[in-house]
């Protein structure tokens, strides 16, 4: 809506209810224009997808909305069908009911489980450091769907997606006896994949662990120098091979997610997704207002420009303790920001990663994520993926 649309309201001759009504009409018109622009954007995106797949684009129309009276009539019809067909035959499913219910479930971001599919849900009352009575179970890929080779290797629990791609490029993975060097090679369910002469099977059980990392532990799966790693803290947590999502310095403490879900790990660590992170830093001297403004406005380090999303003091009486929110995934970024301004970081603690906090988890302890927390991470993964595709589309069509 342009500013000119409101210039007429500055006329002192127009007052009271008439002025309000004019304002409402202008708002309605602006909203209608915004909706039209949104519809055009979605139609263009759909046309682009269909043309890419070799199909002719067709005009898009929204599904019909049904009133409560029509919905109740549909429910009564379904009951009547159920009585006629009995328990052995299935009543026809109405598309109206699906249209009515689907948006509500999507708005809540809820994931519904059937009776058969609920066996893999973990208890929301897990004790810290205890094994789960059940694990999340991913549906077995029994269809004819193909999977990229590096993804297959990662799902087999060998390593993460990026490390799996390196193994493939180095020629350490074979498919049906032949060495494959392309990480994106499509693997069929009937193919035999081997690594170090061992047949790999794509994992189905997904494990999600939140660790409150202590000092003097390396955030990696193994260390050539024999130093302690974060896997030593969770070695009895699960039978599946898990790995840390992202990295924390050896002397940095706080929230660390560990999982065997390669897709989620790739989303949370990819720079384009900009996952939110909050740190609490203890400095060797009070942090000045001038330096706080510099960090908020952005500073240039040796590897480029970086800007904090927010910065402040958790305790107004102690200027040596600084809270900083940042989404950059650059190596040692928080320490380098303060060191660039002449401060020595005595302690650095990550208190938030995405939607996860270290609340009720003591230093060096861990716990399994509950169903709600996993759902939030998956929702964030889906939302950021859609946003990224929209940005790519806008950049291509500028």
Same domain, 307 and 331: yes
Residue 230: CB atoms within 10 Å: 24
> Are residues 36 and 79 both part of a single domain?
no
Same domain for 14 and 46? yes
* Number of domains the chain contains: 4
Do 264 and 361 lie in a common domain? yes
Q: Which residues of 44-63 are buried (b: 16+ CB within 10 A; e: fewer)?
A: ebebeeeeeeeeeeeeeeee
The token pair at 266 is: 């790739």
User: Roughly what angle, to the nearest 10 degrees, separates helices 16-52 and 371-396?
Assistant: 80
What CA–CA distance (Å, rounded) separates 340 from 320? 16
Q: Are residues 215 and 197 in the same domain?
A: no
What's the CA gap between 28 and 18, in Å, rounded?
Answer: 15
* pTM check: above 0.75: no
Same domain, 47 and 82: no
- What's the CA gap between 263 and 154, in Å, rounded? 9
Q: 249 an active-site residue?
A: yes
Distance CA 187, CA 346 (A): 49
Alpha carbon distances (Å) from 388 to 181, 220, 259, 381:
29, 28, 24, 11
Domain boundaries, position 29:
3-52
- What is the structure's pLDDT at 339? 94
Q: Which pLDDT belongs to residue 238?
A: 84
121 part of a folded domain: no
Confirm whether 269 is domain-assigned: yes
**pLDDT, tens digit (0-9, with 9 covering 90-100), for 120-175:** 444 333 334 444 433 333 433 434 578 899 888 877 767 777 888 899 999 999 99
Which residues of the chain register pLDDT less than 70? 1-16, 19, 50-71, 74-75, 77-144, 157, 203-204, 384-398
Domain end residue (candidates: 201, 233, 250):
201
Active-site residue, from 178, 216, 236, 249? 249
Looking up residue 194, the CATH number of its domain turns out to be 3.10.290.10
- Secondary structure class of 260 (helix, strand, coil): coil
Strand 208-213 and strand 198-199: the pairing is unpaired
Q: Do residues 237 and 377 share a domain? A: yes
Tell me which of 155, 178, 201 is where a domain ends.
Answer: 201
Domain identity same for 213 and 193? no
Q: Are 149 and 185 in contact (CB under 8 A)?
A: yes
Q: What is the pLDDT of residues 250-281, one digit of tens each?
A: 999 999 999 988 878 888 887 777 788 999 99
What's the CA gap between 197 and 179, in Å, rounded?
Answer: 12
What's the CA gap between 216 and 250, in Å, rounded?
5
SS3 for 379?
helix
């Amino acid at each position: 809506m342009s500013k000119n649309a409101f210039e007429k309201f500055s006329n002192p001759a127009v007052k009271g209810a008439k002025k309000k009504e004019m304002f409402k009409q202008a708002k309605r018109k602006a909203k209608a224009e915004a909706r039209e622009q949104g519809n055009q954007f979605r139609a263009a995106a759909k046309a682009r997808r269909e043309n890419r797949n070799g199909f002719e684009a067709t005009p898009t129309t929204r599904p019909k909305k049904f009133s409560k009276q029509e919905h109740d009539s549909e429910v009564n019809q379904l009951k009547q069908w159920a009585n006629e067909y009995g328990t052995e035959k299935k009543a026809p499913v109405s598309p109206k009911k699906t249209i009515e219910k689907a948006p509500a479930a999507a708005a809540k971001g809820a994931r519904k489980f059937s009776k058969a599919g609920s066996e893999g849900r973990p208890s929301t009352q897990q004790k810290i450091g205890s094994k789960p009575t059940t694990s999340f179970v991913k549906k077995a890929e029994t269809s004819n769907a193909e999977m990229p080779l590096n993804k297959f290797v990662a799902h087999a629990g060998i390593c993460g997606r990026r490390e799996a791609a390196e193994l493939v490029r180095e020629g350490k993975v074979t498919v049906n006896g032949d060495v494959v060097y392309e990480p994106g090679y499509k693997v069929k369910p009937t193919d035999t994949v081997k690594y170090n002469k061992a047949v790999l099977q794509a994992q189905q059980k997904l494990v999600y662990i939140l660790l409150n990392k202590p000092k003097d532990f390396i955030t990696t799966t193994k260390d050539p120098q024999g130093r302690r790693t974060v896997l030593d803290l969770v070695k009895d947590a699960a039978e599946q091979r898990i790995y840390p999502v992202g990295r924390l310095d050896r002397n940095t403490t706080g929230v660390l997610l560990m999982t065997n879900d390669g897709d989620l790990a790739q989303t949370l660590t990819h720079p384009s997704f900009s996952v939110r992170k909050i740190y609490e830093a203890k400095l060797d001297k009070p942090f000045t207002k001038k330096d706080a403004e510099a960090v908020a406005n952005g500073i240039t380090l040796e590897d480029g420009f970086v800007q904090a999303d927010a910065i402040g003091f958790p305790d107004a009486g102690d200027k040596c303790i600084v809270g900083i929110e940042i989404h950059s995934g650059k190596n040692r970024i928080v320490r380098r920001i303060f060191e660039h301004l002449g401060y020595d970081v005595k302690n650095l603690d990550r208190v938030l990663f995405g939607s996860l906090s270290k609340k009720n988890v003591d230093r060096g302890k861990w716990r399994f994520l509950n169903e709600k927390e996993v759902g939030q991470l998956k929702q964030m993964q889906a939302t950021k993926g859609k946003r990224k595709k929209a940005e790519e589309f806008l950049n291509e069509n500028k």
